[in-house]
Amino acid sequence: MSFQPVRFYQTGTYTVGNRLLDEAQRTVQATVARANSLTSGHRACQGCGEALGARYAMDAAMHASDRQMVVVNATGCLEVFSTPYPETSWQVPWMHSLFGNAPAVATGVAAALRVKGRRNVRVIAQGGDGGTTDIGFGCLSGMFERNDDVLYICYDNQAYMNTGVQRSSATPAAARTATTPAKGPAPGNEFGQGKFLPEIAMAHRIPYVATASVADLRDLEAKVEEATHLRGARYIHVLVPCPLGWGAASSDTIRLARLATESGLFPIFEARFGEVSEARPIRRLVPVNEFLRLQKRFAHLFEPTIDTERIAVIQAQADRNIKRYALLP
């Protein structure tokens, strides 16, 4: 007699929508009262990691702030696909000013709310990696340094996707973009220090810095909820795969985010006042190969021959993260 094992959801995992969990532990998305801050009908691509991340982050913040919040959005995919005039997907007070000034605009909103005596209204600024690590970096650092009462969330898809996949300072080594083509003796993006903004944010000694990814949405929610309750400058950096820019299947968005974290390439941690307070251990370590080979932007590392030398350098970057953040306790 054949039998089929019955699988139960397990409590204690971060499985989104887990209805066996205690009410208080359930994800915001599992509740009928979720805010739907970013409603359906927007124009993001199929499998967009940023739309997913933003929706979870904003709903969690709405939940945590009791719907008392204002959002400032930098120019970018998220802004363009959510607000093509005369439509808007936002169910929250939302403002877009420029590409590089979202942190400063958010500072202004927070100042106005303080003057008006509305300290219960929380201010969130958000943008992509270009708006955050490049053009908006000065304003972001200023906002951090003043410890303004703003939560800034960066959705990092590792290039300028809105303008057609050009390199940003968050683009990983060897990745092909429209401005780092897979041509010449060293195809793809240069190998360098890159710019890992969470560590730069930590250097400002702000109350809260965290990383998250769309592979672990309950973790993202929990971090946004925690950050929403805190005062002062806070920063959350969310890895959001982009099927278009990464040259990956739309169905692989979550898988890629998970492989990025499980390989150590993108460490998941929290830091308070400049010190790492918690790092999420890798559950099943994978070599960087598994992350890289699903993406056309890294195809030149595998074809026509396998570029073991450069893959080894990328592996070394992952190993360094694992060591630095103690991801394999």
Partner 1 sequence: MLKQIEGSRAVAEAVALCRPEVICAYPISPQTHIVEALSEMVRTGDIRPCEYINVESEFAALSVAIGASAAGARAYTATASQGLLFMAEAVFNASGLGLPIVMTIANRAIGAPINIWNDHSDSMALRDSGWLQLFAENNQEALDLHIQAFKLAEALSLPVMVCMDGFILTHAYERVDIPSQELVDSYLPPYEPRQLLDPDDPVSIGAMVGPEAFTEVRYLAHARQLQALALIPELALEFSQCFGREAGGLISEYHSEGADTVIVALGSVLGTIKDVVDALRAEGASIGVLAIKTFRPFPLDAVREALAQAKRVVVIERSFAIGQGGIVADSLRKALAGLHIPTHTVVAGLGGRPITTVSLERLFRTALSGALANLSFLDLDQGAVDRVLAHEREVRRSGPLANRIVHEIARTSVRIE
Question: Which residues make Cβ contacts (< 8 Å) with residue 142, sequence separation at least 6?
Answer: 103, 104, 107
According to CB under 8 A, which one of 1, 8, 41, 116 is a site residue for partner 1? 116
Q: Is 33 in the site for partner 1 (CB under 8 A)?
A: no
Between CA 75 and CA 179 the distance in angstroms is: 20
- In the shown chain, the binding pattern of residues 143 to 162 toward partner 1, with x for contact by CB under 8 A and - for none, equals --xx-x--------------
The one segment of 93-101, 151-159, 176-184, 213-221 that binds partner 1 by CB under 8 A: 93-101
The secondary element (H helix, E strand) that includes residue 169 is none
Q: Which is nearer to partner 1, 139 or 288 (CB)?
A: 139
- In the shown chain, the binding pattern of residues 63 to 82 toward partner 1, with x for contact by CB under 8 A and - for none, equals ----xxxx-xx-----xx--
Least CB distance to partner 1 at residue 221 (A): 20
Strands 69-73 and 234-239: unpaired
Q: Which is nearer to partner 1, 43 or 255 (CB)?
A: 43
Least CB distance to partner 1 at residue 247 (A): 26
Q: Is 90 in the site for partner 1 (CB under 8 A)?
A: yes
B/e letters for 79-113, b = 16+ CB within 10 Å, e = fewer, are bebbbeeeeebbebebebbebbbbbbbbbbbbeeb
Least CB distance to partner 1 at residue 321 (A): 30
Between CA 196 and CA 318 the distance in angstroms is: 13
Q: Is 164 in the site for partner 1 (CB under 8 A)?
A: no
The secondary element (H helix, E strand) that includes residue 95 is strand 94-96
Could you tell me which of 151, 102, 150, 107 has the C-alpha nearest to residue 130?
Answer: 102
Q: Is 139 in the site for partner 1 (CB under 8 A)?
A: yes
Query: For residues 135 and 97, is the Cβ–Cβ distance under 8 A?
Result: no
Least CB distance to partner 1 at residue 110 (A): 8
List contacts with partner 1 (CB under 8 A): 67-70, 72-73, 79-80, 83-88, 90-98, 100-101, 104-117, 121, 138-139, 141-142, 145-146, 148
